[in-house]
A and B are shown apart, each in its own frame.
Chain A
Amino acid sequence: MEFKDYYATLGIERNATQDEVKRAYRKLARKFHPDINKSPNAEQRFKEIGEAYEVLQDIEKRAAYDKIGSNWQAGQDFKPPPNWDKGFEFQGREYTQAGASQFSDFFESLFGTRSPFTRAQTFHGQDPSFYRKGQDLHAKIVISLEDSFRGSKQTVTLQRPTVDANGHVFTSPHTLHITIPKGVTEGQRIRLEGQGGAGIGKDSNGDLYLEIVFASHPHFSADNRNIMLTLPITPWEAALGATIQVPTLGGTVELKIPPNSQTGKKMRLKGRGLSSSTVSGDQYVTLAIMTPHPANKSDRELYRKMAETMSFNPRRHLGVTS
């Protein structure tokens, strides 16, 4: 088990006042709250901050933690000394407050499990009339745009809190095979009934919410149901019009570019986006004219000839003549 440096987690000195502990916690909790911070490790950080605060905000727990000593380094292999909590007010395993998150092994070895169920179990035991809904779990699932376009089967493994017959709470890996229908979009959520944390009583499991996140795609991006593609074209295709091939999630299709097209022109391929069974999405192609580098003398000659024969001033609206 790794030693956790709770002071480092909150970014404070070991002699910080209780007010400083609280201030540091509040600031970091806002910063790393998983609803606010979208970085993938935000949730983990938020839990660590919560765990550090749970210990340091409480004078008793903080004193006990300090007693372990300041010689430990974060990550160092740790075993609590025997009877280390002697003389403090919280011997036993029923000490901590109820709360939703699971704390680290390090925390549990010192202060016992923190779980919303522990207390309920203590008071109600196995009384079948007692009912308590398990917690809802939230997780993200990363799928490709192709998965959404076609529908897909996914396998997810989650750590799920479970209560055993003696009322002890532990997390265990839980693997689910899920069929995700076609046409899900980023940020959309899927609710899996009864797949959340275990509750007490019949049909009391919480629900699992999976939020869809798209893996980044080399060419496409998604705007809700619409697939966006920036399509490079040549100046002559733009000027003269052309029929060109365009990749879509469902394969290549042909697109007719009208003459006199400009960079930024948006064209729609109807029904080629992320369509569900009831709502359809389109693909939008944004044209981007690419200027070829003149590779040799004859290319340069061609450009010069254009400059001579074509009277074109793209800056006329800016009031300049050349």
Chain B
Amino acid sequence: MKTDIQCTVFDETSAYCLKDLCRLCRVHAQFIHDLIDEGILSPQGNNPKSWRFGAVEIKRIQISIRLQEDLQVNLPGTALALDLLEEIEELRSSKSLLEQLHALEKRV
């Protein structure tokens, strides 16, 4: 049993350059450029050499790949889906806070 597993947490401090990002997500740089042009990714930095991509970008790239492969969603559709998914996520978390408050009111 291997115990020493290389483990990387993607958090708000994660920052990858274009080359590392492409290797990590196994995509061509062109795909990243397309996602940036569509507004799906917004890296830090002004030009491709100084671009830095974080945890959110990696997740968006991987979801984009899956949506395109599994559901044949095109690029604008992917962008729309990602935005809506994030909005749903925010609504869900505020809903659970509200539910917590309501549960508390019922208890008293």
Q: A and B: partners?
A: yes
Known pairs A221-B97, A232-B104; A188 contacts B9 (CB<8 A)? yes
Instruction: Kindly state whether residue B30 has any CB partner on chain A within 8 Å.
Output: no
- Closest chain A residue to B12, Cβ basis: A279
Q: Number of B interface residues, CB 8 Å?
A: 35
| List of B residues within 8 angstroms of A223 by Cβ | 93, 97
Quote the shortest CB–CB distance from A284 to chain B (angstroms). Answer: 11
Query: Hey, what's the 0/1 contact readout for A71-87 against B, CB within 8 Å counting as 1?
Result: 00000000000000000
* Interface residues in A5-40 (C-beta closer than 8 Å to B): 26, 29-30, 33, 35-36, 38
| List of B residues within 8 angstroms of A192 by Cβ | 5-7
| List of B residues within 8 angstroms of A278 by Cβ | 13
Instruction: Kindly state whether residue B80 has any CB partner on chain A within 8 Å.
Output: no
Quote the shortest CB–CB distance from A236 to chain B (angstroms). Answer: 15
- Closest chain B residue to A30, Cβ basis: B71
* In contact, B100 and A221 (Cβ under 8 angstroms): yes
Instruction: Kindly state whether residue B46 has any CB partner on chain A within 8 Å.
Output: no
Instruction: Kindly state whether residue A120 has any CB partner on chain B within 8 Å.
Output: no
Instruction: Kindly state whether residue A262 has any CB partner on chain B within 8 Å.
Output: no
Instruction: Kindly state whether residue A230 has any CB partner on chain B within 8 Å.
Output: yes
Known pairs A29-B71, A290-B108; A36 contacts B93 (CB<8 A)? no
Which residue of B6, B62, B104, B105 is within 8 Å of A193 (Cβ)? B6
Which residue of A26, A177, A191, A228 is within 8 Å of B3 (Cβ)? A177
Known pairs A30-B71, A35-B66; A188 contacts B5 (CB<8 A)? no
Known pairs A36-B85, A188-B11; A176 contacts B5 (CB<8 A)? yes
Cα(A190)–Cα(B22), bound, Å: 18
* In contact, A190 and B10 (Cβ under 8 angstroms): yes
Known pairs A221-B96, A288-B104; A189 contacts B67 (CB<8 A)? no
Which residue of A33, A177, A183 is within 8 Å of B71 (Cβ)? A33
* Interface residues in A131-156 (C-beta closer than 8 Å to B): 133, 136, 138
Quote the shortest CB–CB distance from B107 to chain A (angstroms). Answer: 8
Given A29-B71, A191-B10, 15 other A-B residues pairs in contact with their CB atoms under 8 A: A33-B66, A33-B70, A35-B66, A136-B26, A138-B62, A189-B10, A189-B59, A192-B5, A221-B93, A221-B97, A223-B93, A230-B101, A230-B104, A279-B13, A288-B101
Residues of chain B touching chain A, judged by Cβ–Cβ distance below 8 Å, are 1, 3, 5-13, 24, 26, 55, 58-59, 62-63, 66-67, 69-71, 81, 85, 89, 92-93, 96-97, 100-101, 104-105, 108
